[in-house]
Amino acid sequence: MDEEEIDKAVMAYLRKKGFKEAERVLQEEQNRVSSVGSRSDPEIAKQILTFAESGDGPLRYHEGYSKLRTWSYSSLDLYKDELLRVLYPVFIHCFMDLVAKGYVQEARRFFNCFRDDHEMMHKRDLQKFEGILTPSHLEEMEFACALRQSKVNIKLCQYSYELLLQYLQKTQSLTMLGIINEHINFKVSPGHPSSISDDADAVSLIGSSQDIAKQVNQKEVHWGLLEDSIEERFEKHGGLLSDSEKVDGENKEADGEDKKRPVEGNKQGASAKKMKKDKVVGAVGKNVRSETTTVSVAPRVKPELKLPVMPPDEEQSILEDLRNRVQISSLALPSVSFYTFINTHNGLNCSAVSHDGALVAGGFSDSSLKVWDMSKIGQQAGSINTQGENEPSLNGHVLGSDERKQPYTLFQGHAGPVYAASFSPRGDYILSSSSDATIRLWSNKLNANLVCYKGHNYPVWDVQFSPVGHYFASSSHDRTARIWSMDRIQPLRIMAGHLSDVDCVQWHPNCNYIATGSSDKTVRLWDVHSGECVRIFIGHRSMVLSLAMSPDGRYMASGDEDGSIMMWDLSTGRCITPLVGHTSCVWSLAFSCEGTLLASGSADCTVKLWDVTASTKISKTEESRSGSGSRLRSLKTLPTKSTPVYNLRFSRRNLLFATGALSKGV
């Protein structure tokens, strides 16, 4: 049989067996031979035929992956980190190929033999694949189908890529070569190899195609702030409330506000407070203009939603807070007022703090929602961690469950655990979401449930009021996010596109967009008016649990289950920098009012403060040289007393509130 007959036989066999990648390789070889006129490797057809004939044997997957794994781990340390990136996608596709071909028992043995290598980085994925027991399960699982239809992007330096090719050619590991060709897209870069911590996009194993993400990210995003906002009017008038107000009247109002808000600021006596105030008063007036240069330079956009009319008393309250705002930076870090829940018996699922810290809410597994009014609670604050005078501190407030000692309002109505709570901007309403697939609106003035919103089909993991109130967003196990208004019981918009649970949701400052984080490891930005996805952010390696928007609306931070945080540029959809430091889930993120600092709260019982300014203000020259932004600098780590951090929030005066439940007995 001559070479042409061999080729025809191989092609027919490959079509019959469905080896599309091997068929493509052979076709390319034939095209090359026809163009060159000679055959440099006469054995290629025979090799592919051998590959096809042995295709029914599951042992080749185990042996091929085992050899690739051994070679990768024995590589030089300089290139090992990059070469190890190839193992996980090859492992997953070997497993899915075995299941698809009907070798279920062999697939389980293969999965259990090598799963420990990937348990730390991809635990969530492995848990999903554990439920695949038959080929029909594989076809019904959308996440698996999406992975089989898309490619993984892996970044390697030139030399690492050449080493991998040499290994595949030398070992003639056609099984591994076929999987790599079909499911991995290498991005080869010149220069030295980079570690995974240096490049957030080194491996992008996602349920969404990279091509789809690129296409979506071409859409225009108006990331500016709302025109004619109260903050803009405040800055235009140089920080003055109004011409008719006198200084004495302002001082009296400020004193009154301080009495109303006993939790804001350190409780270190009148003399200490006066010294601190003297240091800050001059800076406040000076920094109004500096804030103007950072926040006010953002473009102004028109609202897509009909915004509610702000009552005069609320407007005056906001103006008062803006006038008394303390400007913080890497040189003047904020204080942290920490509310600790005790005796929760692992029943606390979520917490929330009103914008001024006067109200604190907790959602519990017994279907209850409890709200504490801090003005009714005595000064029972105990110092958890105290730093120097110019250093941040954690001031503790203990919230118990005994109503005789700790007065709270009990809201009951849900039929399942409460997973999220959110205060309205004024603090007069609070939303709660539950595993009973409903969202409830409660009145803090009437202490009653006003509305029950039904629309989701499964548990609602998160709910958030918009910055202007009236509208709110929710996210659910049904893989959708929804936009609601307080006066309608049906959702205004449904955002569908995630491949798994939508775990968290966050509003953009201009209310024209919402961001959603999902268990499919992606973050999406949605246009509220059209319900269309306008950005897909790819880079996380575990489920996304928390989101935060910068005050100017340009940047977004997202935190995941592994403890990683990423900063994104909404205008480009690009990851500016990863933040590495937490050792467990990042449950909450918050930007300071002028956007200079980012606070992160984690299950590792710490609050971390990050310098945003140093990372986002990168010259275009540096950006083009490095290809990505420099990493955010960690300014301070504030540990708690065995208290995981559930929630963070900056007040309008730039005091940082934090909440958590004590994880062991006092």
* pLDDT above 70 (res 277): no
In the prediction, which pLDDT does 312 show?
Answer: 86
Query: Which one is predicted more confidently, 595 or 42?
Result: 595
Provide the pLDDT confidence category of residue 660 given band limits of 50, 70 and 90: very high
Maximum Cα–Cα distance for the chain, whole Å? 104
Encoded tokens for 503:
């775990």
In the prediction, which pLDDT does 326 show?
Answer: 87
The predicted model gives 256-260 an average pLDDT of 43
In the prediction, which pLDDT does 567 show?
Answer: 92
In the prediction, which pLDDT does 301 show?
Answer: 84
Assign 197 to helix, strand or coil. helix
Question: Same domain, yes or no, for 185 and 238?
Answer: no
The predicted model gives 309-322 an average pLDDT of 86
For residue 80, being part of any structural domain is answered with yes
Instruction: Give pLDDT tens digits for 415-455.
Output: 999 999 999 999 999 999 999 999 999 999 999 999 999 99
For residue 267, being part of any structural domain is answered with yes
Question: Same domain, yes or no, for 500 and 606?
Answer: yes
* pLDDT above 90 (res 597): yes
In the prediction, which pLDDT does 30 show?
Answer: 58
In the prediction, which pLDDT does 313 show?
Answer: 85
Provide the pLDDT confidence category of residue 180 given band limits of 50, 70 and 90: confident
Question: Same domain, yes or no, for 534 and 416?
Answer: yes
CB 173 within 8 A of CB 67: yes
For residue 128, being part of any structural domain is answered with yes
Structural domain for 179, as ranges: 54-205
* pLDDT above 70 (res 279): no
In the prediction, which pLDDT does 67 show?
Answer: 92
Question: Same domain, yes or no, for 455 and 599?
Answer: yes
User: For 191-200, 369-378, 459-468, 565-574, which range has the lowest pLDDT when averaged over its residues?
Assistant: 191-200
Burial 401-422 (b: 16+ CB within 10 A, else e): beeeebebbebebbeebbbbbb
Assign 468 to helix, strand or coil. coil
Encoded tokens for 382:
């105990």
* pLDDT above 60 (res 12): no
Provide the pLDDT confidence category of residue 400 given band limits of 50, 70 and 90: low
Question: Same domain, yes or no, for 293 and 429?
Answer: no
Global pTM exceeds 0.85: no
Q: What percent of the chain has pLDDT over 90?
A: 35
Q: In the chain, how many domains are there?
A: 3
Question: Same domain, yes or no, for 63 and 105?
Answer: yes
> What's the CATH code of the domain at 68?
1.25.40.500
Question: Same domain, yes or no, for 534 and 430?
Answer: yes
Provide the pLDDT confidence category of residue 24 given band limits of 50, 70 and 90: low
For residues 132 and 140, what is the distance between their CA atoms, to the nearest angstrom? Answer: 10
* pLDDT above 90 (res 506): yes
In the prediction, which pLDDT does 585 show?
Answer: 93
In the prediction, which pLDDT does 502 show?
Answer: 94
Give the long-range contacts of residues 431-434, CB within 8 A, separation 24 or more: 431/463, 431/464, 431/465, 431/472, 432/363, 432/369, 432/463, 433/460, 433/461, 433/462, 433/463, 433/474, 434/363, 434/367, 434/459, 434/460
Question: Same domain, yes or no, for 443 and 578?
Answer: yes
The predicted model gives 515-531 an average pLDDT of 93
Provide the pLDDT confidence category of residue 474 given band limits of 50, 70 and 90: very high
For residues 15 and 2, what is the distance between their CA atoms, to the nearest angstrom? Answer: 20
* pLDDT above 60 (res 48): no
* pLDDT above 60 (res 8): no
End-of-domain residue from the set 190, 205, 220 = 205
256 C-beta neighbours (distance < 10 Å), count: 11
For residue 340, being part of any structural domain is answered with no
The predicted model gives 456-477 an average pLDDT of 94
Q: What are phi and psi of 535, to 5 degrees?
A: -150, 140
Instruction: Give pLDDT tens digits for 235-244.
Output: 766 554 443 3
In the prediction, which pLDDT does 295 show?
Answer: 63
- What would the DSSP string read from start to end of 212-263? HHHHHTTS----SEETT-HHHHHHHTTT---TT--HHHHHHHHHHHHHH-TT
In the prediction, which pLDDT does 325 show?
Answer: 86
Instruction: Give pLDDT tens digits for 101-113.
Output: 888 899 999 999 9
For residues 407 and 377, what is the distance between their CA atoms, to the nearest angstrom? Answer: 7
> What's the CATH code of the domain at 557?
2.130.10.10
Q: What is the mean pLDDT of the chain?
A: 77
Query: Which one is predicted more confidently, 159 or 297?
Result: 159
For residues 275 and 600, what is the distance between their CA atoms, to the nearest angstrom? Answer: 29
Question: Same domain, yes or no, for 200 and 255?
Answer: no
∠ CA 268-271-275, nearest 5°, is 95
Instruction: Give pLDDT tens digits for 338-347.
Output: 999 988 887 8
For residue 364, being part of any structural domain is answered with no
In the prediction, which pLDDT does 490 show?
Answer: 94
Find the DSSP H helices in 150-217: 158-171, 174-183, 210-216
The predicted model gives 369-397 an average pLDDT of 56
In the prediction, which pLDDT does 219 show?
Answer: 87
For residues 374 and 388, what is the distance between their CA atoms, to the nearest angstrom? Answer: 26
Write the secondary structure of 269-305 as one string of H (helix), E (strand) and C (coil): HHHHHHHHHHHHHHHHHHHHHHHHHHCCCCCEECCCC
End-of-domain residue from the set 283, 298, 323 = 323
The predicted model gives 475-492 an average pLDDT of 94
Question: Same domain, yes or no, for 442 and 559?
Answer: yes
For residue 380, being part of any structural domain is answered with no
* pLDDT above 70 (res 282): no
For residue 390, being part of any structural domain is answered with no
Question: Same domain, yes or no, for 496 and 609?
Answer: yes
For residues 454 and 626, what is the distance between their CA atoms, to the nearest angstrom? Answer: 49
For residue 560, being part of any structural domain is answered with yes
Question: Same domain, yes or no, for 257 and 139?
Answer: no
Provide the pLDDT confidence category of residue 310 given band limits of 50, 70 and 90: confident
Provide the pLDDT confidence category of residue 198 given band limits of 50, 70 and 90: very low
